[in-house]
């Protein structure tokens, strides 16, 4: 497997062109929520970066930087009200960089960042039943498939299942201790 070094950092306005170039891909969009724009213009990138830059710190969204360029993104959406102990994780990567193990490492790093910076008990992700690569990423990063939410979503006109994967703070603490 080809390995590539990457860096996670906060988004900068100067990322907008590279963001649009990598995000403007139907094969990326097909696996994401419909609020992700398609086609994805540089202006969509600018709007996204301005929107997340205005949020309170610590940052919930990170750019995935390869060879100095922002080529993907990962973020959490902390839940509210009685679910304020959990957050949803979402991510994507430019197609040129797929299948090099990047996202598995990125997800692990984001899990650590999240538990270090937010008082959350649980991080979950809900890939579509057909998003096999994403499910593999979550499994390789130590997530557990807790449930299948049958017929929970519609994508491209088809009713689809969502697979609910989770990672708990207790698990993260156990892993950190195990390392030393």
Binding site for ligand COA (CB under 6 A): 28, 31-32, 91-93, 98-104, 125, 127, 131-134, 136-137
Judged by beta carbon, residue 151 or residue 170, the one nearer ligand COA is 151
Closest approach, Cβ 30 to ligand COA, in A, equals: 7
Judged by beta carbon, residue 49 or residue 74, the one nearer ligand COA is 74
User: Are the beta carbons of 107 and 172 closer than 8 angstroms?
Assistant: no
Judged by beta carbon, residue 148 or residue 173, the one nearer ligand COA is 148
CA–CA dist 79, 120 (Å, integer)? 10
Closest approach, Cβ 51 to ligand COA, in A, equals: 20
Closest approach, Cβ 93 to ligand COA, in A, equals: 4
Contacts (Cβ under 8 Å, ≥6 apart) of 153: 128, 159, 160, 161, 162
Judged by beta carbon, residue 73 or residue 115, the one nearer ligand COA is 73
Closest approach, Cβ 5 to ligand COA, in A, equals: 13
């Amino acid at each position: 497997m080809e390995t590539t070094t990457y860096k996670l950092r906060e988004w900068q306005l100067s990322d907008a062109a590279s963001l649009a170039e990598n995000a403007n891909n139907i094969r990326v969009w097909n696996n994401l929520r419909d609020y992700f724009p398609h086609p994805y213009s540089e202006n969509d990138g600018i709007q996204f970066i301005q929107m997340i830059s205005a949020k309170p710190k610590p940052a919930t969204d990170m750019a995935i930087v390869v060879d100095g360029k922002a080529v993907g993104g990962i973020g959490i959406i902390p839940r509210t009200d009685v679910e304020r102990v959990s957050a949803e994780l979402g991510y994507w990567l430019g197609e040129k960089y797929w299948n090099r193990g990047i996202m598995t490492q990125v997800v692990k790093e984001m899990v650590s960042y999240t538990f270090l910076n937010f008082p959350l008990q649980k991080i979950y992700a809900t890939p579509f039943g057909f998003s096999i690569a994403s499910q593999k990423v979550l499994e390789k990063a130590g997530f557990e498939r807790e449930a299948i939410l049958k017929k929970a979503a519609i994508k491209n006109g088809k009713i689809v299942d969502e697979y609910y994967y989770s990672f708990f703070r207790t698990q993260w603490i156990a892993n950190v201790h195990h390392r030393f």
